[in-house]
C-alpha cells in the first residue's frame, strides 16, 4: 500500500496554479519515481472565486495561509505567496513549527531569514527546500548541493534575472537605449511597473546570497552583496564591448578570495566566446568553478509559471523520495560566519569609458595617472567622429569624445584612485563609466 504525501499550496497565482496542474498531470510518474502517491489536498488564496484554470472542488480551501500551514491535513506546505515579511514568513514559520516540510520559491524570504528558518527546520527535522527561488527552472540548487558534493567551489556566477538579460540583449541587438528596452519589457510583462528591484540588481543579489551560502557553506549574508544595476549602461558601451570581444551581462558573482567571499552584482563584460555570453533574452545561466569539475554551466528558463513550478515539483518529489539534506548543504551550526570583502579590494580587469575633452595630450594624461596607480592597460581605443576629424583636424576644439581603456587585473581601489586623479586634472567632460570584466 503506497503512502500519500499531501500538499498544501499557499498562493494560487501563475506558479501555484501550474504546480496544481503539474502534480495532477505527473501523478503516475511521481509515484513511480518516489514510491509515494503525491497529491495536492489543500490550497489557500485570497480570492476564492477567481478562475485559475483548474477544478478546485475536491480541495480543502483555506482563506488563511497560516491555518493551512498548521493543518493536520497536509504533510508539505508549499509557500508561493512571496515577500520577505508578512504572511509568507509567518506561514512558513508556522508550518515548520507544526512539523511540516516546506517548499518555497521565495528568494526574498530566504535571503532575509534563511539561516533562522533553516535552524528551525533542522530542529524540527523537516526539509526547507527552495530550488525555485534561484534561476527558476534550472536545477542549480540540486547541482551544487548534491551534484558537486565532492568539490570545493571557488566561484559561482550567473545571469539570475531575466528582465535585465532581456533588456541588455535587446539593447545589444538593436542599438536601443535602456529606457526604450525597459518600456518594451514592461509591455511584454517581463518587467514590473516599478522595475527598480529587477533592473537595479536587488533581485539578483537575493538569489546570489542564497547561492553563496550553499556553495561556500557560510551563513547567508544578503546585506554583504555589493549591488549595481544596469540603468547606467549606454548603447555605446555595448558597441564598444562588441568591438573588444565582449558582451555585457548583469552577473551575480560570489568568489572565494584570501580575505573572504566577495559577493557582487554588477554589469559585467564577459568574453563573447564564453557559454554565458550566448545566453540571450529572459534565459538564466549559472556557472560554477569547482576544484574537481573545473567549470560547470547550467542554462535554462529563469522564470515563468511552468518553469518555476517544475522546480517546486522537483523539491516535492525529493521530499516524497525521502531526501533529507541540510538546507544550506550542512547543519546551520556548521555554517561559517560571513567575512565580507569590500569592493575596493576586488581585483579584476576593468572596462573604463571616459568622456574626455578632445585635446592633444589627453590620452597621455590619462595613461600617466593609470600608471601612477599601478594599473596596466591592455588596450586603449580613442576614436574621433569622422565629422570632428574633418572640421577640426588638429583636435583644437576640445569637444567631448570617448576614450575606452581595458585594464589588466587591478584593484577597484586603485582604479577609483586613478579616475579621481584624472577628474582632478580636468580631463573629464562627463562622469566615467566603469564595467568590471569577468574571466571564464
Active site residues: 207
108 membership: H or E segment, kind and range: helix 107-124
Q: Rounded to the nearest whole angstrom, what is the least distance from the CB of residue 136 to a second copy in the complex?
A: 8
Which of 142/206 has CB closer to a second copy? 142
Distance CA 75, CA 11 (A): 17
326 binds a second copy (CB under 8 A): yes
Nearest to 317 by CA among 135, 136, 127, 143: 127
299 binds a second copy (CB under 8 A): yes
From candidates 26, 340, 359, 384, binder to a second copy by CB under 8 A: 26
Contact 159, 276 (CB under 8 A): yes
Instruction: Establish if 134 lies at the interface with a second copy (CB under 8 A).
Output: no
* Number of Cα atoms under 13 Å in the Cβ half of residue 306: 3
For residue 20, give the DSSP letter. Answer: H
Does residue 82 bind a second copy (CB under 8 A)? no
CB of 36 or CB of 204, closer to a second copy = 36
Does 281 bind a second copy (CB under 8 A)? Our answer is no
Asked if residue 269 binds a second copy (CB under 8 A), the reply is no
Q: Are 201 and 228 in contact (CB under 8 A)?
A: yes
Closest CA to 301 of 284, 281, 288, 279: 284
CB closer to a second copy, 280 vs 367 = 280
Q: Binder to a second copy among 42, 317, 354, 373 (CB under 8 A)?
A: 317
CA dihedral (132, 137, 142, 148) positive or negative = negative
Q: Name the pairing type of β-strands 433-438 and 260-271.
A: parallel
CA 141 to chain centre: 13
Instruction: Verify binding: residue 409, a second copy, rule CB under 8 A.
Output: no
Choice from 22, 45, 211, 366 touching a second copy (CB under 8 A): 22
Residue 402 as a binder of a second copy (CB under 8 A): the answer is no
Q: Is 152 in the site for a second copy (CB under 8 A)?
A: yes
- Integer angstrom CA distances of residue 316 from 93, 101, 251, 303, 309: 18, 9, 29, 18, 10
Instruction: Out of 131, 172, 221, 237, name the contact with a second copy by CB under 8 A.
Output: 131
Which of 321, 389, 409, 420 is the binder for a second copy (CB under 8 A)?
Answer: 321
The residue within the footprint of a second copy, chosen from 306, 355, 382, 399 (CB under 8 A), is 306
Distant-in-sequence, close-in-space partners of 210: CB < 8 Å, separation ≥ 6: 107, 110, 111, 114, 130, 133, 134, 141, 220
Cell of 123: 530542529
Is 36 near a second copy (CB under 8 A)?
no
* Exposure b/e, 168-178, CB count within 10 A at least 16 = b: bbbbbeeebeb
- Taking the complex as a whole, the smallest distance from the CB of residue 112 to a second copy amounts, in Å, to 24
Residue numbers 332-391 binding a second copy by CB under 8 A: 334
* Binding region for a second copy (CB under 8 A) out of 26-34, 178-186, 232-240, 370-378: 26-34
274 near a second copy, rule: CB under 8 A: yes
Secondary structure letter of residue 131 according to DSSP: G
Instruction: Give the C-alpha separation, 155 to 296, whole Å.
Output: 11
Q: Does residue number 296 form part of the binding site for a second copy (CB under 8 A)?
A: yes
C-alpha cell at 310: 517544475
Would you say 333 or 386 has its CB closer to a second copy?
A: 333
Residues within the interface to a second copy (CB under 8 A):
18, 22-23, 26, 29-30, 32-35, 131, 137-139, 142-143, 145-152, 217, 273-275, 278-279, 290-301, 306-307, 309-314, 316-318, 321-326, 329-331, 334
Amino acid at each position: 500500500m503506497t503512502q500519500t504525501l499531501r500538499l498544501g499550496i499557499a498562493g494560487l497565482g501563475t506558479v501555484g496554479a501550474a504546480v496544481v496542474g503539474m502534480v495532477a498531470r505527473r501523478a503516475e510518474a511521481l509515484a513511480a519515481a518516489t514510491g509515494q502517491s503525491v497529491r495536492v489536498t489543500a490550497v489557500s488564496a485570497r480570492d476564492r472565486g477567481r478562475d485559475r484554470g483548474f477544478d478546485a472542488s475536491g480541495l480543502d480551501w483555506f482563506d488563511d495561509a497560516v491555518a493551512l500551514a498548521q493543518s493536520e491535513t497536509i504533510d508539505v506546505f508549499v509557500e508561493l505567496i512571496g515577500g520577505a515579511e508578512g504572511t509568507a514568513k509567518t506561514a512558513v514559520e508556522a508550518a515548520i513549527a507544526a512539523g511540516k516540510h516546506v517548499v518555497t520559491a521565495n528568494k526574498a524570504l530566504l535571503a532575509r531569514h534563511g539561516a533562522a528558518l533553516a535552524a528551525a527546520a533542522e530542529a524540527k527535522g523537516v526539509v526547507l527546500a527552495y530550488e525555485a527561488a534561484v534561476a527558476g527552472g534550472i536545477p542549480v540548487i540540486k547541482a551544487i548541493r548534491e551534484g558537486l558534493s565532492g568539490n570545493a567551489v571557488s566561484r559561482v556566477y550567473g545571469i539570475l534575472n531575466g528582465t535585465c538579460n532581456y533588456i541588455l540583449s535587446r539593447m545589444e541587438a538593436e542599438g536601443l537605449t535602456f529606457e526604450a528596452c525597459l518600456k518594451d519589457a514592461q509591455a511584454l510583462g517581463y518587467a514590473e511597473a516599478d522595475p527598480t528591484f529587477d533592473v537595479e540588481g536587488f533581485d539578483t543579489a537575493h538569489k546570489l546570497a542564497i547561492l553563496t551560502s550553499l556553495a561556500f557553506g557560510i551563513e547567508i549574508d544578503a546585506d554583504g552583496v555589493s549591488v549595481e544595476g544596469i540603468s547606467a549602461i549606454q548603447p555605446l558601451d555595448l558597441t564598444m564591448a562588441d568591438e573588444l570581444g565582449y558582451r555585457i551581462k548583469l552577473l551575480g558573482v560570489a568568489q572565494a578570495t584570501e580575505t573572504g567571499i566577495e559577493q557582487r552584482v554588477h554589469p559585467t563584460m564577459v568574453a563573447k566566446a564564453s557559454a554565458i555570453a550566448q545566453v540571450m533574452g529572459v534565459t538564466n545561466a549559472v556557472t560554477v568553478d569547482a576544484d574537481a569539475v573545473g567549470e560547470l554551466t547550467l542554462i535554462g528558463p529563469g522564470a515563468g509559471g511552468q518553469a518555476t513550478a517544475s522546480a517546486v515539483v522537483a523539491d516535492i518529489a525529493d521530499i516524497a523520495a525521502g531526501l533529507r539534506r541540510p538546507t544550506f548543504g550542512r547543519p546551520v551550526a556548521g555554517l561559517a560566519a560571513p567575512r565580507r570583502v569590500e569592493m575596493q579590494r576586488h581585483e579584476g580587469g576593468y572596462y573604463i569609458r571616459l568622456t574626455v575633452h578632445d585635446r592633444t595630450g589627453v590620452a597621455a594624461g590619462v595613461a600617466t595617472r593609470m600608471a601612477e596607480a599601478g594599473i596596466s592597460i591592455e588596450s586603449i581605443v580613442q576614436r574621433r567622429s569622422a565629422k570632428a576629424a574633418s572640421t577640426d583636424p588638429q583636435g583644437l576644439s576640445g569637444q567631448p569624445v570617448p576614450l575606452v581603456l581595458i585594464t589588466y587585473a587591478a584593484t577597484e581601489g586603485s582604479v577609483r584612485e586613478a579616475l579621481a586623479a584624472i577628474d582632478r586634472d580636468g580631463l573629464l567632460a562627463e562622469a566615467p563609466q566603469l564595467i568590471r570584466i569577468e574571466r571564464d
